[in-house]
Amino acid sequence: MLRSLLFAPGDSDKKMTKASGIGADCVILDLEDSVAAQRKPVAREMVAEFLRGARTPGVKFYVRVNPLDSGLAQHDIAGVAPAAPDGIVLPKANGPEDLRIVAHYLDVLEAEHGLPAGAIAILPVATETPSAVFGLGDYRHGVPRLSGITWGAEDLGAAVGASANLDANKDWTMPYQTTRSLCLFAAHACGVQAIDTVMADFRDTERLEVVCDEARRDGFTGKIAIHPAQVPVINEAFSPSADELAHAQAVIDAFRANPDAGTLQLDGKMIDRPHLVQAERILAIAAQIAALGKNA
């Protein structure tokens, strides 16, 4: 269960180290957009060296490689996989077949370097090309190593020539609302985390609180951050509150006491089996957060 996933440029030891101590559940060591073309080879080496060092307890480390069609992805994966990252973030994934290609690379590298088979997960950014949007439903047919699905609006907007992706109220415009929803349902169809995309305006923490609350309301379980200041807001938003936990436990207790009931009254309101499913999910999320050594 990853609530917050924070990007850190792969060509800066200082920023990678700082990101590791911010409190993010996952640090994404970046070899793509935050690294200039001429710095990519050295960034690849720096990320591998960083991964071989002491890991911060309770933090997962993923590496965002370059897209498969860049000619760099295979080199990126070969360079960092021996250092055993927890996962690979694949940008501009066009569909499950791209993930199968990456999974094949990882199969070979894990065997070659004595790593546990299947240990390195894959998280696709699954909406950054127009064709990718039409393939979101295909992930449910089984993709190896899939740990979650996230989406992106910036590259997609550039690909279709959009002049903006936010309206005057800072809400997503309709094409991106649709894309966001498809990502959400694709992830849940696969039984993996639905991870919301970045909010670029990292200074607007009040808006971030709203965005995170809406994302969690809709069924997202985590969010990507581009600045350390966003991490505490994201962690709080995607953690069950004490009141939520108490209510969830009360729902579960009510159904345990009445195992044959389909509908019950609790605190003056009617509850049924979908409420029980949601209550069990909330307690499971809290347990997963606790397992990471984080505060729920």
Domain boundaries, the chain: 4-237, 242-291
| Whole-number Å distance between alpha carbons of 62 and 102 | 14
pLDDT in tens, 270-284: 888 889 988 988 898
- Segment 49-74 shows an average pLDDT of 95
- Segment 138-166 shows an average pLDDT of 94
Please check the confidence at residue 269 and state whether its pLDDT lies above 90.
Answer: no
Please check the confidence at residue 176 and state whether its pLDDT lies above 90.
Answer: yes
The fraction of the chain above a pLDDT of 70, given in percent, is 98
Candidates 3.20.20.60, 3.40.640.10, 2.60.120.10, 3.40.50.720; correct CATH number of 4-237?
Answer: 3.20.20.60
Determine contact, residues 186/139, Cβ cutoff 8 Å. yes
Place 294 in a pLDDT band, splitting at 50, 70 and 90. low
Going by C-beta distance under 8 Å and a sequence separation of 6 or more, which residues neighbour residue 232? Answer: 23
Please check the confidence at residue 125 and state whether its pLDDT lies above 50.
Answer: yes
Phi-psi domain of 184 (left: phi exceeds 0; alpha: psi -120 through 50; beta: other): alpha
Q: What is the pLDDT of residue 8?
A: 98
Which of 242, 104, 91, 210 is closest to 152 using CA atoms? Answer: 91
User: Which H or E run contains 126?
Assistant: none
Going by C-beta distance under 8 Å and a sequence separation of 6 or more, which residues neighbour residue 136? Answer: 126, 127, 149, 182, 183, 185, 186
- Assessment of whether the complete model's pTM goes beyond 0.75: yes
Return the exposure string of 129-144: e unless at least 16 CB atoms fall within 10 Å of the residue's CB, then b.
beebbebbeebeeebe
pLDDT in tens, 228-254: 999 999 999 999 888 888 888 899 988
Determine contact, residues 51/79, Cβ cutoff 8 Å. no
Q: What is the pLDDT of residue 296?
A: 45
Average pLDDT, the chain: 94
Q: Please name the amino acid found at residue 259.
A: P
